[in-house]
Structure 1
Amino acid sequence: MKDVEDFIAELPIDEKLILQQLRSILFQIEPRFQERLSYGVPYYYRKRRVCFLWPVSAPLAPKVAGDVKVLLGFCYGSKLSNAHGLLQKQNRKHVYIIPFSRLSSINQQIVQEHIIEAILIDNELHKSNTLK
């Protein structure tokens, strides 16, 4: 079975660079993320699935407009504030994404804010489940 490092190594260079930068930000925010391939792409877990990185060359990649290379998806994106207006719902109920076309389009501060909020939601959902 392929691991995340093998998966990244096989990506086209433009996707690889974007994915590596986003992955670095994820682990800067939460070094304890559990990272594993699910649906053929890297997912990041704490109590449950928090987010994922989906290169458009990966199997089952959703159709995206434009020159998008990598999607940063949030499993409970519908609960995020979307204060910067970057999260896209498209035709999904819960999962929201931020598309990235170039390495230079990554605003580290905004990405960090979304990840931190997603982690807080993960904590809240875990608490509410343990209280039941």
Structure 2
Amino acid sequence: MSKIQPISFRSMDEFLDYLPENEKEIVLFPRAIILECLPGCKEKLAYNVPYYYRNSRICFIWPPSVPWGNVNIKGVQLGFCQGYLLRDELNYLEKGDRKQVYWKCFSSLEEIDVALVRNFLFEALEIDSMSGRK
């Protein structure tokens, strides 16, 4: 544990058990989409939240109940580690002042545009596949 994060999870089950029910529901929905769209990806806790890997980090799910310093998150974030490389003509993803990681925040299941999220995941997987080629 650190000052930035006063919690530490040893497993996905422990992470999920920690979440309030409303957040858990929102976390589980994009998680299912990720596992469907990124077959064979590795799910691993980093910074006490789930990250999804193939050759490198592809995406993550960050609920507001998992703290990171003084950062105040308003909803469950679905983040794309190479978000700056994604085609986002609709400006669906939030960028804030970040240059690489882009995300979308969800406060309810109804806010999740499944088709758009799937498209971003497929594109992120393609970007990751290209980064693994030598």
Structure 1: give runs of 5+ residues left out of the alignment. Answer: none
Give the aligned partner of residue 125 of structure 1: 131
Shift of 1:83: 2.8
SS at structure 2 position matched to 1:51 = strand
Say what the alpha-carbon RMSD is for the aligned residues.
1.4
Alignment of 1:63 with 2:69, yes or no, is no
In 2, Cα distance between equivalents of 1:123 and 1:90:
26
State the partner residue of 1:87: 93
Question: Counterpart of 1:122 in 2: which secondary structure?
Answer: helix
**d(CA) in 2 for partners of 1:38 and 1:75?**
13
Letter in 1 for 2:17: A
What residue identity is the alignment partner of 1:19? Answer: V
Cα deviations by residue, 1:46-78 (Å, 9 ceiling, x for unpaired):
0100000000110217434xxx32000000000
The 2-side partners of 1:31 and 1:59 are apart by 29
Q: Percent identity?
A: 38
Equivalent position SS for 1:118 = helix
Which residue of the other structure, out of 87, 102, 106, is the alignment partner of 1:100? 106
Question: Where does residue 3 of structure 2 map in the other structure?
Answer: none
State the 1:112 CA deviation: 0.2
Letter of the 1:100 counterpart: F
What are structure 2's unaligned runs of at least 5 residues? 1-8
- Give the TM-score, by structure 1 length: 0.89
Amino acid across the alignment from 2:114: Q
| Runs of 4 or more above 2 Å deviation | 61-64
Q: Does 1:6 align with 2:11?
A: no
How far is 1:39 from its partner?
Answer: 0.8
CA distance in 1, matches of 2:24, 2:99: 28
TM-score by length of 2: 0.87
Count residues in correspondence: 125
| Cα contact 1:74–1:95 (8 A) shared by 2 | yes
What is the match of residue 29 of structure 1? Answer: 37
* 3-state SS in 1 of match to 2:65: coil
Give, in whole Å, the separation in 1 of the partners of 2:129 and 2:83: 14
Give, in whole Å, the separation in 1 of the partners of 2:40 and 2:90: 26
For the 8 Å contact 1:14–1:69, the answer to whether it is kept is: no
